Structure 1
Amino acid sequence: MADVQAFAEAGADLELVGIQKRFPGFTAIEHLDLKIPAGSFFALLGPSGCGKTTTLRLVAGLEDPTAGNILIGGKDVTSLKPHKRQVNTVFQSYALFPHMTILENVAFGLRRRKVADPLAKAHDALKLVELDHVADRKPAQLSGGQQQRVALARAVVNRPALLLLDEPLGALDLKLRRQMQQELKQIQQEVGLTFLHVTHDQEEAMTMADTVAVMNKGRIEQMGAPAELYELPRTVFVANFLGQSNLFAVQVVGGTDQVLHTDLGGHRITLLRSRSARDSGTITVGVRPEKMRLHTQAPPEDPAVNVIGPGRITDVSFTGVSTQYSVQAPEFGEVQVFAQNVEAGPAAHLGDTVWLSWLAEHTFGLADDRLDTGALNGDFSTRAIATQASLAE
C-alpha cells in the first residue's frame, strides 16, 4: 500500500437524531437514533425495504428527512446540499466515465473543486488501491474488481470525513467479493476515514465492519460487534437474518441465580440467565446449527448439556467444509445440524435415528413474545424453526 499521509485527515463521527422518513403511502424510517464514532467501519445490514438505503441517502443529502437531524463531526448538516457535506459515496455501479482514463476519473472531482495539483493527488490515491500502473487505461480495459478500486480511489482522493458504501461489492463474483472485502477493510484502517457500509449480505457486513446494525421495517433491531450479534441475537429476526438458527418455544419451569430451566416437550433445555432476554412464561430459545452434535445413542445426562431426541434424519447435504443434516421429531419439529467434515464420510445417514446435544452455554433466549406466525403457519405448539435468512435484493 502507498504512503497514506495524504489521506490522513481523521474521519468524523456521524449522529442521527430522531430521524423519520415518510413517503406517500408508507414510512421508510420510523424513528432512528444512531451514533457512529469517527474512524470506525459501520455496517447497516438488512433485507430489501428495511430502510438502510434510505438512511444512506439521507446522510448523503440525496433525500431530506421528514423529522430529525443529521450531524457530521458535530455539525448539523440536515439542511446542507450534498456537495456541501464532507461525504462521498461509492455505488455498486462504479459510475466511472468511460471516455476518460483512470487517472482522469480519479482527478475529476479535484479539478471541479479547483484543488491544487490534482494529478499528483490522483496518483497517490491510485497507489493506495495499488492501481497506479493502470492510470492511463480506460475503465473498459479493467476488471470489475479493478473498477471498484478505482471508484474507491476517486472517493478517497476527496478526503471526505465520511465515506458511504452502497452495496459496493454486489456486482462482483464470490471470490473477488471476498478479496475486495479484505482490501476495503485494510484501506479503511490505513486511511482512518469513517465508513458507513449498506448491505444485505450478512457475511460481507460481519467480515468488514467493527459494528453492525441490523435493520428491519425502518428500525434498528439490534446493534453491536459482529460476533456479539451472531452469538447472542435478541430477536427472532436477528437470529434468522444473521446466519441460521434452530428456535424453540419453551416453558420456563425453574432455575437458579445463574441458569434457567425450561421444558421442550418433556426435554429439559437449560440456558444462562445472562443469555436470555426473558425469564418467565413461554419464551423463545435458540441454538446455532454448528453448535449441535449428532449421537447414534442417547448421551449420558449432564447438567451442562442439553439433549433432545430421538429424531430421524430426513435430509443430508454435503457442502465440503461441513455436512448439513435435517432431523425431525414430533416433540421439536425440524432441526438443522451442521457437522464439520473432520473425517471421511458422513457421521450419520438418511433415515438414521439420532439424538442431538449442545452445551447449555450456547443456548440464547430471545426478547420476542412468541415465534413468528409466518414461520409457524399459525401453530404455536412447541416446535423448532430453522429458517435461513432471505437475502433477496
Structure 2
Amino acid sequence: MTGTFAESGADLRLDRITKSFPGHTAVDSLDLTVPAGSFFALLGPSGCGKTTTLRLVAGLDEPTSGTITIGGQDVTDTKAYQRPVNTVFQNYALFPHMSVLENVAFGLKRRRIPDPVRKATEALRLVELEDSASKRPAQLSGGMQQRVALARAIVNRPALLLLDEPLGALDLKLRHQMQFELKSIQAEVGLTFLHVTHDQEEAMTMADTVAVMNGGRIEQMGAPQELYELPRTAFVANFLGQSNLLEGDVRGTDGELLVVATAAGTLSVPTARAVATTGRVVVGVRPEKLKIRTAEPAPEAGRNILGPGRVVDVSFSGVSTQYLVDVPGAGRVSVFAQNSKGGPRLATGTEVWLTWGVDHGFGLQAHPASDATVTDQGEPRLASEPATVGAVA
C-alpha cells in the first residue's frame, strides 16, 4: 500500500521491566521483544500483569525499574503524549458530538498536521467506513464504532499500536468478524500491533506470536500453534484451551518414548515432547485428540489406552459433543467428539475406553496439584474439582 500508511512499525523492547505496588508486584523483571511490523499478543487471566505492561508501554504508568525502547529509542522516562504510540480501548472513547470523520481527524487537527481531512478519509477507507463519514458514533453498530476507533489510532501513524481488550464489548459473531478484519488491517498497514487480551481464541486467531503471562512473568511465548500443540507448563496447557493431565512416575524409555506409570495405567509420550524425562512427570493430551470407544481396544504400538470408564456427562455444542468420562485412577477425563457423522450420542452411564496416539501427547514437569492447573478462565482449579485433571498416582 502506498501513501499515508506506507510506513512500517517499530520494534518494542522491554528490558527487566518491573512494576511494584505496595504489597504486590504486577510485572516482575519482564524481558520482551516485539519485532517491527508484527501482530503480538499478551495473553493471560485477570491480574497476570498484561494490562499493567500495556500501560507501561503507553506511558500511562512508570516502571519501578527497567527500560522501554521503541524503535531503538529509550522512552522509559518519556511522557505518554510524546511516545510514538496510540491505544485502542474496549470502550472506543469516541466523541459523541462529532461525526465519524471529525473523530478520526481530531488528533491530526490538534497537532496541526497538513491535510487532516484527506488523511482521515483515507483511514476510513482502509476500515471500509468511508460512506459513514458524516454519521455520529451513536448511529453505528459496535463493530463499526470499533473500526472508527482503529482508524483514529492508525491515522496518526504510530510506530506502535496498542490494543487493550478491543473486542471485549462485542457479541460473539461480531467479535469473530472483527478478529479477521483487525488481522487484515494490520497486514495492510504494516504497523506493530501489541494486543492485550484474556481471550485465548482471539489471541490465537490474530497474533503471529503469543506470550502467555502468569504472575507478572511470561510463562511461554511462541506461535499460536506451537503453544497449543506443545505447552511447556500445566498453566499454559490449561489456559490455552483444555487439557487432560495425568501425573505419574517415569519407569524408563522405549525407543523414543518415555514410559510413565500412572494410577490409571502405563502411558507413553515422545521424549522429544516432554519437558521432564525423569522422576515425577505429567502426561497431557488435548480432549479433541482422544477417541471414545464402547468396546475394549486391543493393545497397539503407538497408542495409549485408558479405561474402562463411565460417561458421567454429555454436552452438545454443535460442532462437537463433549463427554466427561470417569476413569478409575484418572478422575474425570474430557473428550471432544466431532459431530461429523451424526448418529446418536453416548448416554451417561455407558462404559467406554479412551485412546490416543502417543504423538499427540506431551510431558510436563510435575508440580503440586494446586499450582498445576487453571480453569478455562484462568482461575486456579482445586485438585478435587473434576474438570480435566488426572488423579495423582
TM range, smaller chain: over 0.9
Q: Identify unmatched segments of 5+ residues in structure 2.
A: 374-380
> Is the 8 Å Cα contact of residues 202 and 243 (structure 1) preserved in structure 2?
yes
The equivalent of 1:108 in structure 2 is 106
- Supply the distance in 1 between the matched residues of 2:218 and 2:102 (Cα, whole angstroms): 40
**Would the alpha carbon gap of residues 62 and 265 (structure 1) be closer, same or farther in structure 2, given more than 3 Å must change?**
same
Aligned pairs, number: 382
CA contact (8 A) 1:4 1:191 kept: no
> Where does 1:313-352 land on structure 2 (aligned, <5 Å)?
313-352=311-350
How far apart are the structure 2 equivalents of 1:266 and 1:174?
39
Cα 1:80–1:377 shift into 2, 3 Å: closer
Partners of 2:382 and 2:95 lie apart in 1 by 51
Equivalents in 2 of 1:378, 1:312: separation in Å? 20
1:280 to 275, 278, 281: 278
Structure 2 match to 1:64: 62
Percent sequence identity over aligned pairs: 63
Distance 1:338 1:17 in 2: 41
What is the aligned partner in structure 2 of residue 91 from structure 1? Answer: 89
Contact 1:323 1:346 in 2 (8 A): no
- For 1:168, the equivalent position in structure 2 comes to 166
Alpha-carbon shift at residue 374 of structure 1 (Å): 8.2
1:228 aligns with 2:226: yes
Distance in 1 between residues matched to 2:119 and 2:382, nearest whole Å? 59
Deviation at 1:371, TM superposition (A): 3.0
Is the 1:310–1:354 contact (alpha carbons within 8 Å) kept by the matching residues of 2?
A: yes
**CA deviations over 1:98-129 (Å, ceiling 9, x no partner):** 11111110000001111001000000000000
1:111-150 equivalent positions in 2, closer than 5 A: 111-150=109-148
C-alpha contact (below 8 Å) 1:247/1:384 kept by paired residues? no
Aligned residue number for residue 390 of structure 1: none
TM-score normalized by the length of structure 1:
0.94
How far the C-alpha of 1:344 sits from its partner, in A, is 2.1
Task: Select the residue among 23, 26, 42 that pairs with 2:24.
Answer: 26
The corresponding residue for 1:158 is 156
Query: Deviations for 1:2-47, whole angstroms, at most 9, x for unmatched residues?
Result: x553201110000000000001221101110000100000000001
* Amino acid in the other structure paired with 2:222: G
Following TM superposition, by how much is the alpha carbon of 1:377 offset from its aligned partner in structure 2, in angstroms? 4.8
User: For residue 391 of structure 1, what is the aligned residue in structure 2?
Assistant: none
| 8 Å contact kept, 1:4–1:190 | no
RMSD of aligned residue pairs (Cα, Å): 1.6
Equivalent of 1:251, from 243, 249, 270?
249
- DSSP 3-state at the match of 1:372: helix
Q: In the superposition, relative to structure 1, how do residues 310 and 56 fare at CA in structure 2: closer, same or farther (>3 Å)?
A: same
| Aligned amino acid, residue 80 of structure 1 | T
8 Å contact kept, 2:294–2:351: yes
- Indicate conservation of the 8 Å contact 2:312/2:323, yes or no: yes
Distance 1:73 1:377, change over 3 A: closer
User: SS in structure 2 opposite 1:172?
Assistant: coil
Question: Residue 384 of structure 1: CA displacement?
Answer: 7.9
Contact 1:315–1:327 under 8 Å retained in 2: yes
Contact 2:288 2:336 survives alignment (8 Å): yes
Q: Residues 198-209 of structure 1 correspond to what in structure 2 (within 5 A)?
A: 198-209=196-207
Q: Which letter maps to 1:243? A: G
**Aligned AA for 2:365?**
A
TM-aligned CA distance change 1:266 to 1:350, over 3 Å: closer
CA distance in 1, matches of 2:352, 2:105: 64
Which of 288, 305, 308 matches 1:307? Answer: 305
Cα distance in 1, alignment partners of residues 2 and 255 from structure 2: 52
Larger CA deviation: 209-218 vs 340-349: 340-349
Tell me which moved more, 158-167 or 256-265: 256-265
Match of 1:386 in 2: 388
Say which SS state the counterpart of residue 7 (structure 1) adopts.
coil
Aligned partner of 1:82 among 66, 69, 80: 80
